[in-house]
Amino acid sequence: MSSSLQLNHNGNLKHFLSISGLDKALLTSILDTADSFIEVGERTIRNVPLLRGKTVVNLFFEPSTRTRSTFELAAKRLSADVLNLDIRTSATSKGESLSDMLMNLEAMASDMFIVRHAQSGAPHFIAESVTPGVGIINAGDGWHAHPTQAMLDMLTIRQKKGRIEGLKVGIIGDILHSRVARSQIRALKMLGADEVRVIAPNTLLPPEIESLGATVFNQLSAGLKDLDVVIMLRLQRERMHGALLPSEQEYYKRYGLTQNALKYAKPDAIVMHPGPINRGVEIESAVADGKQSVILDQVTNGIAVRMAVMSMAMSGQTEAKNLLKEAQSA
């Protein structure tokens, strides 16, 4: 279902909604294309003319300055026109339905929507409803998926470790509410990671997480043992309210990544975090700023990955349109 929605008839990307449904070859080609865009980012003039004349709409139903900015920058580096829409203040508060709003946006001749929404599956819904030819990129939906974040993490791991195959990776923190973790687990498994661990207390783990291919660890030291990659997740402070955790202190003491805790991982393990960081809540400053941290590389890679995914999806839509034209003329 989601794979056929994301791919055109030639098996090329036309929407980027979730890692699930995409094979290893396609994920690898996203990483390879992103590598080329990293080179573009190092030039005097960082723009390429690929999406010149195209309109990319940032459709953010949930606030996020950081993700929106990287998508905006990525679109601009591809020479696209960018429209930022903050939906919370406009459409839905006036009772306009999502489908009606999309029709209006399409009337503005948009070519691509970057969608962030609090509801899991909202980008799927939009991809199913939009006119053919408009690409949808998921910039995070509910607890479901954040595929561009996962791919920029994969790119960072590949840069630092030279490969993903055979690595042991641990994801620490609030897995239950994390779309990032779900996409990371999918991507890591598909790209051949040896082991993906989720490390958290049971109240922060979704049911049957093992069915995604992850191994559960409740204890940080045991979970960190032999890891090549340590991925921290942000702990939302509101988790203290819903009887999920008793206090920040108790959590930090048991699951916070301190320099001492990091010693359990391999000496050359890298430390990642999707940001923004809560220093002293899930990670110690010395670790976040330490030499094993690759958090700033993740930010740089985020732009390249988004450029790759946007240009590939736009290309896939073009291909789908051409196929349709051929079919009609035949």
Partner 1 sequence: MFNQQELSAILDNMSEELAAQLQGCAFKMVGIRTGGVWIARELAKRLDYDEEIGELDISFYRDDFTRIGLNPSVTPTRLPFGCEDAHLLLVDDIIMSGRTIRAAMNELFDFGRPASITLAVLADLGQRELPIAASVTGQVMQLPKGKRLKLSGPEPLSLNQES
Partner 2 sequence: MKLKLVDGQYLSPDQTWKSFKSIYIEDGKVKSIDQDADIDTERTIDCSGLRVIPALIDLNVTLKKATTNSNTEHSEVEAAVAGGVSTFCCSPDISPINDSPAASKLLASLASAQSKVEILPLGALTQQLQGEALSEYAELRDAGCIGLSNAYLPINDLLTTKRCFDYAHTYGLSVFVHPMERSLYQGSMHSGSVSTMLGLQGISYLAESIAVSQLIMLAKNSGAHLHLAQVSCKESVDLIRKAKNDGLTVTADVAVANLVYTHEAVQGFSSVFHCCPPLRDETDRLSLINAVKDGTIDAICSAHQPCGNSDKQAPFAESAKGLSTIEHLMHYAKMLDNSGELSVEAFVKAMTLGASKALKRHAPLIEIGASANLAIISSGNAKELKAGSMKSFGKNSPIIGHKLLTEVTHTLRSGELVYEKQSS
Which of the residues 51 through 110 are near partner 1 (CB under 8 A)?
51, 53
Task: State yes or no: residue 45 binds partner 1 (CB under 8 A).
Answer: yes
- Considering the complex, what minimum distance in angstroms separates the CB of residue 26 from partner 2? 18
Residue position matching structure tokens 């997740």: 233
Closer CB to partner 1, 140 or 316, in the complex: 316
φ, ψ at 201 (rounded to 5°): -70, 160
Helix (H, G, I), strand (E, B) or coil at 191: coil
Task: State yes or no: residue 316 binds partner 1 (CB under 8 A).
Answer: yes
Q: Vertex 312, ends 309 and 315: CA angle to 5°?
A: 150
Task: State yes or no: residue 264 binds partner 2 (CB under 8 A).
Answer: no
- Considering the complex, what minimum distance in angstroms separates the CB of residue 243 from partner 1? 49
Which of the residues 24 through 43 are near partner 1 (CB under 8 A)?
29, 32-33, 35-40, 43
CA–CA dist 103, 113 (Å, integer): 12
- Considering the complex, what minimum distance in angstroms separates the CB of residue 318 from partner 2? 25
Which of the residues 149 through 188 are near partner 1 (CB under 8 A)?
none
Find the distance separating the first CA and the last CA of the chain, reported in whole Å: 28
Helix (H, G, I), strand (E, B) or coil at 264: coil
Task: State yes or no: residue 182 binds partner 2 (CB under 8 A).
Answer: yes
Partner from partner 1, partner 2, none contacting 38, C-beta within 5 to 8 A by type: partner 1
- Considering the complex, what minimum distance in angstroms separates the CB of residue 186 from partner 2? 9
Task: State yes or no: residue 12 binds partner 1 (CB under 8 A).
Answer: yes
CA–CA dist 4, 18 (Å, integer): 12
Helix (H, G, I), strand (E, B) or coil at 215: strand
| 321 within 8 A of 132, measured Cβ to Cβ | yes
Tokens for 145, please give them: 């998926």
- Considering the complex, what minimum distance in angstroms separates the CB of residue 80 from partner 1? 12
| 19 within 8 A of 183, measured Cβ to Cβ | yes
CA–CA dist 195, 193 (Å, integer): 6
Query: In terms of DSSP H, where are the helices of 53-178?
Result: 65-77, 98-107, 122-129, 147-161
Task: State yes or no: residue 104 binds partner 2 (CB under 8 A).
Answer: no
Residues in contact with partner 2 by CB under 8 A are: 1-2, 5, 20, 97-99, 117, 119-122, 124-125, 129, 141-145, 179, 182, 206-209, 211-212
Residues in contact with partner 1 by CB under 8 A are: 12, 29, 32-33, 35-40, 43-45, 47-51, 53, 311-312, 314-316, 318-319, 322
